Amino acid sequence: MATSVYSIRIDSRVRKMIDELSGSGCQEEIRALIEDTVRTKRREQLLAHAQTRFESMSAGMSAARIIREARDVR
């Protein structure tokens, strides 16, 4: 998996507290939190897009009717 650097600005007091917690795995926790947040937001975005597409679809033939017609052709 390729990685890249993403910089953020945080309050210097928070940075100092993070530095004082050396060995606590803050970096891994922050990375995991960001990944979870991005996945959740992406999931919400995809769901909203799917919902919009579903709402814009016109009502067509029902699945039962399509299956009956396919059986009648045989």
What confidence tens digit (pLDDT) does each residue in 10-67 have? 999 999 998 888 777 888 899 999 999 999 999 999 999 999 988 887 777 788 888 8
| Residue-level length of the chain | 74
- Contact in structure between 24 and 32 (CB atoms under 8 Å): no
Task: Give domain limits for the chain.
Answer: 26-57
Cα torsion for 63, 68, 70, 74, to the nearest 10°?
A: 160
- Global model pTM greater than 0.75: no
